[in-house]
C-alpha cells in the first residue's frame, strides 16, 4: 500500500516542509473462519457394500435436514475405486472423503509395508485411484493411514514399528502419486487422532503435502464434563503451531467426531459441542461418526442438524 509521509527539512538554517510517497507492507490479518460448516457423515447403515460395487445414499440422507457436504468411506488397500458412491456424491452436491487404509487388503492379499508404499510398489493402484477421480469429474478428499499418532490399534502407528519419518515418507509418496493422475480434483486431508494419544507435530509433512489439516476429535466419554474446550481444543492448538500451517488458512476440519453416551441430555451436549467448535473460529466443520456409542437417536439427530444450520446462519 502507498502512503504520503510529511515532515520538514533544514537547509542553511532554513526549515521548509517536505513530503514523500513511500510503500508500506500490507497489514497482515488472520483469515476469517468460513461461515459455512463443512458437514460430513459416516453412517454404518448407509448401505456401503462389502463388495465395493453398489451403493446407497440412505444413511447420508438421514442427515439432510442440514447441508451434507462430505460422505466418508473407508477403503481397504487395493480395493476398487467406489465409482457408484462417487456418482451419488456428485448428484447430491457432496464430496467423497476416502480413507485409504493400508491394511485389510482387498482380496486377502498381504498388508503393505509403509516402506514398500514409499518405494512405489503400489503406484499402479494409486495412479488408478487418481485416474478414477479425474474420470468422475468431482472433487474428492483423501486421507491415508490416519490416526498415526495413536498407539496400538493400527499397524502404521509406532506400536506397529513405523516411525514418524517412515510414515511421512509413505504419506508424501501417496499424495504425489494420486495427485499426479487426478487432474487437480484430489485433495489430501492430514489426519492425526486427538492429541491425548500422542503429539501431532512429529507426523507433520509440511503444507506442500497437505491440503486440509484435520484431526479425529471425539468427546469419547459420556461425562458432560468432557467438553470441546477441555478435550478437543488442545489438538487444534497443537495443529495451529505447526510450521507453515498458515498456508492452509489456519483452519482445521474435525474429520471424525461424536459425543458418547445415550443417556438423557445428550442432545443439549451435542448442541453445545457444535457451538463451541464454531466459536473457536479455527474449525471449518466436522464429520459425524454415526455408529456404536455415537449413534444418534431421532431427537439427537435433530439437535445435530439444527446446530449445523445455526453454524451456517451465524
- Burial status of residue 135 (CB atoms within 10 A of its CB: 0-12, 13-18, 19 or more): middle
Domain range spanning residue 265?
30-313
What's the pTM?
0.87
Domain annotation covers residue 17? no
Rounded to whole angstroms, the Cα distance separating 93 from 54 reads 19
Q: Answer yes or no: is pLDDT of 48 > 90.
A: no
Domain annotation covers residue 218? yes
Mean of pLDDT over the chain: 88
Domain annotation covers residue 165? yes
Domain annotation covers residue 20? no
Q: What is the pLDDT of residue 263?
A: 64
Domain annotation covers residue 184? yes
Domain annotation covers residue 37? yes
Q: Answer yes or no: is pLDDT of 26 > 70.
A: no
CATH number for the domain that contains residue 109: 3.20.20.80
* Helix, strand or coil, per DSSP, at residue 244: coil
Q: How many domains does the chain have?
A: 1
Cβ neighbours around 39 below 10 Å, total? 24
Q: Answer yes or no: is pLDDT of 31 > 70.
A: no
Domain annotation covers residue 45? yes
* Helix, strand or coil, per DSSP, at residue 115: helix
- Going by C-alpha positions, the residue among 191, 175, 75 that lies closest to residue 127 is 175
**Which position has the grid cell 438423557?**
264
Q: What is the pLDDT of residue 7?
A: 46
Domain annotation covers residue 21? no
Q: Answer yes or no: is pLDDT of 2 > 80.
A: no
Q: Answer yes or no: is pLDDT of 79 > 90.
A: yes
Kindly state the average pLDDT of the residues 261-278.
91
Kindly state the average pLDDT of the residues 205-218.
98
Q: Answer yes or no: is pLDDT of 134 > 70.
A: yes
The more confident residue out of 8 and 251 is 251
Amino acid at each position: 500500500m502507498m502512503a504520503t509521509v510529511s515532515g520538514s527539512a533544514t537547509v542553511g538554517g532554513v526549515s521548509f516542509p517536505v513530503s514523500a510517497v513511500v510503500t508500506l507492507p500490507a497489514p497482515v490479518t488472520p483469515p476469517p473462519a468460513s461461515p459455512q460448516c463443512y458437514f460430513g457423515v459416516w453412517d454404518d447403515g448407509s448401505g456401503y457394500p462389502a463388495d465395493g460395487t453398489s451403493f446407497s445414499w440412505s444413511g447420508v440422507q438421514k442427515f439432510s435436514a442440514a447441508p451434507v457436504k462430505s460422505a466418508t468411506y473407508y477403503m481397504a488397500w487395493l480395493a476398487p475405486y467406489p465409482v457408484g458412491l462417487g456418482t451419488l456424491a456428485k448428484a447430491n452436491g457432496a464430496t467423497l472423503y476416502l480413507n485409504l487404509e493400508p491394511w485389510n487388503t482387498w482380496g486377502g492379499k498381504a498388508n503393505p509395508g509403509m516402506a514398500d508404499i514409499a518405494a512405489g510398489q503400489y503406484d499402479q493402484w494409486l495412479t488408478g485411484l487418481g485416474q478414477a477421480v479425474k474420470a468422475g469429474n468431482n472433487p474428492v478428499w483423501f486421507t491415508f493411514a490416519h490416526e498415526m499418532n495413536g498407539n496400538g490399534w493400527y499397524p502404521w502407528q509406532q506400536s506397529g514399528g513405523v516411525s514418524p519419518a517412515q510414515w511421512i515418507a509413505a504419506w508424501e509418496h501417496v499424495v504425489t502419486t494420486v495427485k499426479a493422475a487426478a487432474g487437480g480434483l484430489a485433495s489430501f486431508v492430514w489426519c492425526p487422532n486427538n492429541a491425548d494419544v500422542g503429539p501431532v507435530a512429529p507426523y507433520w509433512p509440511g503444507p506442500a503435502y497437505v491440503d486440509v489439516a484435520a484431526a479425529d476429535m471425539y468427546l469419547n466419554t459420556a461425562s458432560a464434563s468432557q467438553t470441546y474446550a477441555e478435550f478437543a481444543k488442545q489438538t487444534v492448538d497443537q495443529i495451529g503451531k505447526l510450521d507453515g500451517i498458515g498456508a492452509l488458512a489456519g483452519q482445521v476440519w474435525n474429520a471424525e467426531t461424536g459425543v458418547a453416551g445415550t443417556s438423557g441430555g445428550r442432545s443439549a451436549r451435542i448442541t453445545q459441542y457444535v457451538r463451541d467448535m464454531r466459536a473457536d473460529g479455527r474449525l471449518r466443520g466436522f464429520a459425524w461418526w454415526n455408529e456404536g456409542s455415537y449413534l444418534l437417536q431421532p431427537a439427537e439427530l435433530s439437535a445435530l442438524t439444527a446446530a449445523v444450520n445455526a453454524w451456517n446462519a451465524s
